[in-house]
Structure 1
Amino acid sequence: MRWVFLACLLVLAGCATVPRHTTNACAMFDENDGFFNNWRDATKKAEARWGVPAPILLATIYTESGFRSNARPPRKKLLGFIPWSRPSTAYGYSQALDGTWAHYMAETGRFTASRTRFADAVDFAGWFHRKSYDTNRIALNDPYNLYLAYHSGQQGYARQSYVGNAEALNGAQRFTKIAYRYADQLRTCPN
């Protein structure tokens, strides 16, 4: 019985590793093509459900966490007296904030969703980008502005809080480049 438990732990640990090929969509899908952990299928389902192109979904995960399931913002010393606090509650593949994740679960009914499970995180990204279309009329194939809304939040985007924010604007440029790279790659992938 103990060996079965250890074998299960090893299998699960393998599901949470960072892919070797994070800048190559085809290789990444091939690397994560398990029965319980099929990234290609999860991405296609999110694309179909929310209408957000797969390259944008993948670029979201790449930009936010580098495909690390347990990613968190780095700790910082705040106000000189709070030792090494985290600047936000962002967590997981999609770096979803606690409140936004709770809103996603409530609105979609996916109460068992986890920010550390790729299928849930890519679905969340599709949901959020769809909200960007519904709220701010950002086209679902506009990676630059979708990223700015993801980074700033829907209200922040509407207020144009990204204007003059080099981190947001540079991030939007990187996001756009990786989305276009993934789009080119996905056109050549088998399946």
Structure 2
Amino acid sequence: MSVSRIVSSSSLASLLLCACTPAPPAHPDDICSVFHEKRGWYHAALRQEKKWNVPFSVPMAIMYQESGFHSNLHTKRTYLLWFIPWGYVTTAYGYPQAKTDIWQDYQKATDTSASRENFSDSLDFINWYVTNTKKQARVPVTDGMRQYLAYHEGWGGYRKRSYASKGWLMTAARKVGARANVYAAQYSSCESDLKDKGFWSWLF
């Protein structure tokens, strides 16, 4: 096989891989823009808000903080002998940056084969986690800041206040709380505009 043929095949494979990986929303700080761009996300968020009785602004803010809405995000790589790629620092992956063990707990609890690369599955996971945080740590589902601390540190870590000595984490948690409030306010201004108004709204 010629070198040019190999290069062309490699380029094609890269293009196909990129095409299969959904791009994050263009304006993630604006929930109205996010939902206008990604109508499937809008419908998933409303369905799950009704299912879990959790305002979508909180899990969406958590997801934004964790992955920036990137579907296939890994944590930092580790290396063998300083240059050979050798896995990742943790097993956190995908939209929710959920570690493999807690993701498997979620799959077992909900009897699902959900994927961390699927937006709806990932949002459902975060809603499941938020709901359990309310049950286990009595954190209101509307409290984005404290919910994020429990999400990041785990339920045991949250009860032990492991976050108290982590200034960077407290800063991130405050950002999540503020963003959840901003998302809620933004949505109130575009809620009626986002509502489906007939068959053609699915096409445009």
Shorter-normalised TM-score: what interval? 0.7 to 0.9
**Structure 2 counterpart of 1:42:** 44
Matches within 5 A, 1:1-191: 13=19, 16-33=22-39, 38-76=40-78, 85-111=87-113, 113-189=114-190, 190=193, 191=195
Superposition TM-score, scaled by structure 2 size:
0.80
Q: Deviations over 1:122-178 (max 9, x none)?
A: 111100000100110100111110010001001110111111112221110111121
CA distance in 2, matches of 1:171, 1:163: 13
CA distance in 2, matches of 1:70, 1:53: 25
One-letter code of the match for 1:127? W
Gaps of 5+ in 1: 1-5
Q: Is the 8 A contact 2:21 2:71 kept in 1?
A: no
Q: Is the 8 A contact 1:43 1:57 kept in 2?
A: no
CA distance in 2, matches of 1:77, 1:166: 28
CA distance in 2, matches of 1:61, 1:151: 11
> Number of matched residues?
178
Q: Which contiguous aligned blocks of 4+ residues in structure 1 show a shift greater than 6 angstroms?
A: 78-82
One-letter code of the match for 2:63? I
Q: Is the 8 A contact 1:133 1:139 kept in 2?
A: yes
CA distance in 2, matches of 1:182, 1:110: 29
Larger radius of gyration: 2
One-letter code of the match for 1:102? Q
One-letter code of the match for 2:72? N
Per the TM alignment, residue 23 of structure 1 is displaced from its structure 2 partner at its CA by 0.7
Q: Is the 8 A contact 1:69 1:118 kept in 2?
A: yes
Gaps of 5+ in 2: 1-11, 196-204
Q: Report the structure, 1 or 2, having the larger helix content.
A: 2
CA distance in 2, matches of 1:71, 1:107: 24
One-letter code of the match for 2:188? R
Q: Is the 8 A contact 1:78 1:85 kept in 2?
A: no
What is the percent sequence identity of the aligned residues?
Answer: 37
**Structure 2 counterpart of 1:3:** none
Structure 1 window deviating more from structure 2 (172-181 vs 129-138): it is 172-181
Superposition TM-score, scaled by structure 1 size:
0.85
Q: Indicate the RMSD between aligned Cα atoms, in angstroms.
A: 2.4
CA distance in 1, matches of 2:27, 2:119: 16
